[in-house]
Amino acid sequence: VKKVNGKVAKTAKDIQQAAVLGAGIMGGGIAFQSALKGTPIIMKDIADKALDLGMSEASKLLAKRVAKGKMDAAKMGKVLSSIRPTLNYGDFENVNVIVEAVVENTKVKQAVLAEVEEKVADGTILASNTSTISITKLAEALKKPENFGGMHFFNPVHMMPLVEVIRGEKTSDETIATLVAYAQKMGKNPIVVNDCPGFLVNRVLFPYFAGFGMLVRDGADFQQVDKVMQKFGWPMGPAYLLDVVGIDTGVHAAKVMADGFPDRMQHDFKDPTEIMFENERYGQKNGIGFYRYE
Ligand code: NAD
């Protein structure tokens, strides 16, 4: 136990083995980054197809590194073999830290977190990669909320340096220290933030998406808006970014923000992202969103 600025800061737990729940856009990315930086990881999903996709994405990213001469084939094999795809909870009792990255839905996340808590050893640290849902709320499903916090990565995980580590009402200092240490071990820059819908980054991003929705509703062409935002200097515009994020994830997260900040984030019209969602246009993940992908 160390004293930092007069506060008692617990030291992080040792992290030898990690796990991620969900092998989608984020779960696959987290597994890749953890393995790349030397922490073996179990990647659990409920769908075989998702596991195959997660592994093939990791393999593609590694092959690019080999092609660029940044890594040799032997190292690629070693990294790939340290990601273990699975449909069950075998070996979870030996895991030190688990990141949940399933769909952005409070009930589903609470059920998954409660389920995994039963499978792990007492001191295992749990985290959620939720974009917007309160960590304190998710912790209500847990017997040991002190061992649980937020660990919010950004997409694509291998490229984005920031990780928000979120302190829920009952999150212990040791949990925060462990999540910060894991993020650093993964080569990321963690910041510790308080718990509220959207944390820090999405409190900025979702009003921007809402502004985009209003602009399109007022008659703007979304492709023009994207082009203008790129000329403004941003790497991509809002429509393309929503396709990258996943339209379904965007709509679910926007709902959490609207519930959390009803005076500021609620609107009485259907915005273009909601219309995309109703038409099963989920973005890059299913090949069609605002744009079409081959
Ligand atoms: P996704 O739809 O790509 O993947 C979700 C995965 O979870 C799917 O493979 C699904 O099969 C799996 N799953 C569902 N129920 C499960 C269960 N019970 N156990 C194990 N796996 C299960 O979604 P995503 O974009 O990877 O988002 C995952 C989480 O990360 C969400 O909470 C989202 O808000 C958050 N997030 C997303 C982004 C982004 O840009 N997409 C960025 C930061 C955080």
Question: Using alpha carbons only, what angle is made at residue 184 by residues 118 and 70, rounded to the nearest 5 degrees?
Answer: 115
Per-residue pLDDT reduced to its tens digit, 92-149: 999 999 999 999 999 999 999 999 999 999 999 999 999 999 999 999 999 999 999 9
Q: DSSP character for 283?
A: B
Residues 272, 250 within the same domain: yes
pLDDT of residue 5: 57
Which structural domain, as residue segments, surrounds residue 251?
204-286
Residues 184, 212 within the same domain: no
Residues 180, 58 within the same domain: yes
- Ligand 1: which of 44, 131, 245 to mutate, judged by most atoms within 8 Å of the beta carbon? 131
- For the Cβ of 104 lying below 6 angstroms from any atom of ligand 1, the answer is yes
Residue nearest to atom 31 of ligand 1 (CA): 104
Residue 294 maps to a domain: no
Count the residues in the chain. 294
Spot the catalytic one: 152, 158, 252, 267: 152
Query: Mean pLDDT over residues 254-283, rounded?
Result: 94
Residues 124, 267 within the same domain: no
**The model's pTM:** 0.93
Per-residue pLDDT reduced to its tens digit, 7-52: 556 799 999 999 999 999 999 999 999 999 999 999 999 999 999 9
Residues 172, 219 within the same domain: no
Residue 140 maps to a domain: yes
Q: What is the CATH number of the domain that holds 234?
A: 1.10.1040.50
Query: Mean pLDDT over residues 225-242, rounded?
Result: 98
CA of 228 to the centre of ligand 1 (A): 30
Q: What is the CATH number of the domain that holds 167?
A: 3.40.50.720
Active site residue 252: no
Distance CA 179, CA 192 (A): 10
